[in-house]
Structure 1
Amino acid sequence: MAQQTLTVIGADDPLGEAVVREALVRGLRVRATAPLPRRVPRLSPELEVLRAESGSQEDLEPAVRGADGVVLALTPQLVHDATMLATDAAIAAVRAMRAVGAQRLVGVSSTELSDSSRLWGPLRRRLHHGGLQDLRRLERLLAGSGLDWTVLRAGRTTDLLGTREQVVGSALEQGDRTLPREDLARALVDQALAEGREPRILTVTA
């Protein structure tokens, strides 16, 4: 069986670094992108680090060409002020993948988009308005991309050791408030190497 290639966009992000480590442990060939490649630890000969801005289609095309799966591994920014970080990265990734014929794309969003609690849900949506709007745009962009896509909604990531028992389920489920970063990384790699299926927006819990 041919060795699979995974592209990780944002390998200088703590989540991106965790996804790179998880993919390498599984024996995958990894292409990682970062604006400053020297900031990405060279963990294996199977790791290729390419200089790329996450919001640049031109930069991302060489990284996604021929990839079996692409992970948009940017930690969701839950901020009040307006931001376009996730939106710009999603646009660039989708355009780059369309240009080179890559198909499988997995992104990360937040369980706060589906928080149904009467008190804390509205409060968090006000506090994190700018970041949540950005993540809604990411989800809509992927839904209209024509690619084979999946979005994993997760709680706030932590540095705690992973449980190795992460569960991926319906986005309507109430997710945990926090999630070890390693568990989210494992779920992202799992999804990136599998064909997407309905529903496309899922929740990760541990």
Structure 2
Amino acid sequence: MKLTVLAATGGIGRHLLEQALEAGHEVTAVVRNPAKLSEQHWARVVRADLASAGPAELRDAVEGADAVLSGLGAVGKAGIGVAEHGTRAVVDAMRQAGVRRLVVVSAAPIGTVPSPARPHPPRHDPGEGPVMRYVLTPVVKRVLRAHYADLARMEDVVLGSGLDWTVVRPPRLTDKPLTRDYRTAYGQNLRGGGTVSRADVAHCMLRSLKEPETVGRILGVAD
């Protein structure tokens, strides 16, 4: 397949890039700083700052792609807004180029975070156990309030795009190696699933490209 990977040097993006190339896909990597890529990445590289790029700058990156996979997310306070802006730009570029399939990474708590399109979300996620529901999730949502608001607005863009989308919502991310041994659930988080590796999230995103039942679905993923 011809794939475009956004934020290909990020925590999840680098795993998307590596796993896609190992699987034999033809990959275009969209990155702000190409110097962060390995010299032997074997991917076509498009340089773009997704915090400010418009659809015209991304049109060439998505042209002819079978799917676009996004690892976009803010790193630190300075990056807040990149998820919404970069996703909006790539969605517009995909529409212009006639590309349909989009898979993005979000975060487990986003189903309960208000957004312009969902000002009154459910108070709790149906997949959460008592400790996660009443202790851990409230704390994390307070600490990462601005980051989650950005991801919630990003999800608004995706869900309203009219594209063949899948949103993947992981809990706390780790740098453990790829296991391929993770759980998934449609439309909710996983009970007892407090962590998942970035490598396994990337695997889940790539696997969804072969699973038409994931189109138009939100997918929880966890160990």
Is TM (by shorter chain) over 0.5? yes
Answer with 26-35 or 165-174: which moved more.
165-174
Query: Which of 31, 47, 53 is equivalent to 2:49?
Result: 53
3-state SS of the aligned residue for 2:162?
Answer: coil
Deviations 1:7-62 (A, max 9, x none): 001112121111000001111011101122222114344x1111122242222111
Moved beyond 3 Å, runs of 4+ = 42-45, 76-82, 192-199
Query: Does the alignment pair 1:111 with 2:108?
Result: yes
The percent identity for this pair of structures is 31
Distance 1:174 1:78 in 2: 25
TM-score, length-scaled by structure 2: 0.82
Structure 2 residues without counterparts, runs of 5 or longer: 112-124
The aligned counterpart of 2:12 is 15
Distance 1:58 1:34 in 2: 16
**Distance change in 2, residues 1:62/1:199 (3 Å):** closer
**Distance change in 2, residues 1:200/1:186 (3 Å):** same
Deviations 1:154-180 (A, max 9, x none): 012211112221232123233622211
The aligned counterpart of 1:140 is 156
Distance 1:163 1:185 in 2: 11
**Distance change in 2, residues 1:130/1:35 (3 Å):** same
* 1:156-167 alignment runs, 5 A limit: 156-167=172-183
The aligned counterpart of 2:198 is 181
3-state SS of the aligned residue for 1:107?
Answer: strand
Q: Report the aligned-residue RMSD.
A: 2.2
**Distance change in 2, residues 1:171/1:164 (3 Å):** same
* 1:124-139 alignment runs, 5 A limit: 124-139=140-155
Query: Which of 65, 68, 84 is equivalent to 2:66?
Result: 68
TM-score, length-scaled by structure 1: 0.88
Once the two structures are TM-superposed, the CA of residue 112 in structure 1 deviates from its matched residue by 2.1
Report if aligned partners of 1:151, 1:200 keep a CA contact under 8 Å in 2.
yes
Report if aligned partners of 2:62, 2:99 keep a CA contact under 8 Å in 1.
yes
Answer with 160-169 or 85-94: which moved more.
160-169
The aligned counterpart of 1:152 is 168
